Amino acid sequence: MPRSFFLVLAVQFISTLADNALLIVSIARVMELGSPGWIIPVIKISFTVFYVVLAPVAGPIADAFPKGRVMLAANFLKLCAIVWMMVGADPAWAIALAGLGAAIYAPAKYGLITELLPARDLVRANGFFESVTVSAVIFGTVLGGLLISPWMPVWTLPAWLSGSGNTSTALVAGMLVLVAMNALATVLSIGVADSGARYEKHSIHPKALFVRFCRENLVLWRDPTGGLSMTVTTLLWGVGATLQLIVLRWANEALGLSLAQAAYLQGVTAVGVIAGAVLASRFVRLDQATSLLPIGILIGLLMPVMLTIHSMVLAMILLVVVGALAGFFVVPMNAMLQHRGCQLLTAGRSIAVQGFNENGGMLVMLAIYAMGTALNMSLTVLVLAFGGLVALGMTLIYLSRKRQVTVRWVAKGL
């Protein structure tokens, strides 16, 4: 692996760690302001919406400039977002600005991997990358819990930086930690090497970009391999984003934990995710990814098990097992999608299409969860619904794949 790949890994870890800690801090800020419960999934929606809205232009931007420079600009936007919330901005607006930076950042970081490495190394590289990313997601949640805990000092901003009304917050110290982390990610982005890849220039007219993006979506969805992996990752990322909020609520209702303690509990999932990702990167080839589809069904069936658990030890065991299955399953599927997308399109554009669909799935699932919360649906109903959706969806995908393989073998026999 080239040195530049590991620098990208470092930037990815710090940036993703800060993003997920920001989510917990933002939720704490919403609670500090006394906002209704349905605002919490709206916070997550605010971060995700630009992934979908900017998808037609994020890919071309990533391909038009050296991807290290795109990562630099994106991390600077996220830095500005945290400062904005710290001085009194509504958390939904501030995290939306962070989401804007993250949406620009995503095609650049993933596209750079496909430019730096040959296809034979993509599964291994994705094992590293997904381990780092998912670990940062989980540990970022834990860090967020620490940043809102009594362990943090209570600082106040100077009067000239804070206004009146709802700008006063006890979370300044935690927000300053996030400022420092995003500043570090921004500085490290300066050192990311230019891969040297250059792509054909295209029109940046909004209509041309939209038409081209729709065509690129169709190309990837109509491809048997690309469409299969896109369906799987869209479903799992959509449910996974919602499950993160469900686990926080479950930890509070079933285990009696505070928001900070519930954030710590999610950290144990990282152990399983890392183990599963490492095993996948070592033992699963790119052409074997589709054989792992039954694992997706098992993940859905395990989700309702949390409703029967009221012990911290059993909760930790369940989260480790689910994390290991998810890491072992998602890494090869993601690598297969990236490899096929790079073959059919360009690195940046294929990642933009992937991000559009996966984050579109997240928006739909989060909107459903927000509606369920606003209607006061019980935790039991929500967990059964989302677990059943994963199990049923993955079963249909598995049966569809078997049918495709059968038809192919019959055609060869003829």
Q: What pLDDT tens digit does each residue of the chain (414 aa) get? A: 667 777 888 888 999 899 889 988 998 888 888 777 778 888 888 888 888 888 777 777 767 777 778 888 888 999 999 988 888 788 888 999 998 988 888 777 766 777 666 666 666 777 777 778 777 877 888 888 889 888 888 777 766 565 544 456 778 888 999 999 999 988 888 877 565 555 556 566 677 778 888 888 888 888 887 888 888 888 877 877 787 788 888 888 888 888 777 777 777 776 777 788 778 777 777 666 677 788 888 988 988 998 898 888 888 888 888 888 887 877 777 777 777 777 787 666 777 788 788 888 888 888 888 888 888 888 889 889 888 888 898 898 888 877 766 655 555 555
Cβ neighbours for 346, distance < 8 A, ≥ 6 positions apart: 59, 63, 111, 199
Q: Taking Cα atoms as reference points, which of 268, 281, 205, 246 lies closest to residue 370?
A: 246
pTM of the model: 0.72
Rounded CA separation 120/124 (Å): 8
CA 396 to chain centroid: 24
Q: Taking Cα atoms as reference points, which of 372, 351, 374, 370 lies closest to residue 362?
A: 370
The structural domains of the chain, ordered by start, are: 3-193+206-413 (1.20.1250.20)
CA 277 to chain centroid: 15
Cβ-based burial of 51 (10 A; exposed 0-12, middle 13-18, buried ≥19): buried
Cβ atoms 117, 125 nearer than 8 A: yes
Query: How far does the chain reach from its first CA to its final CA, in angstroms?
Result: 45
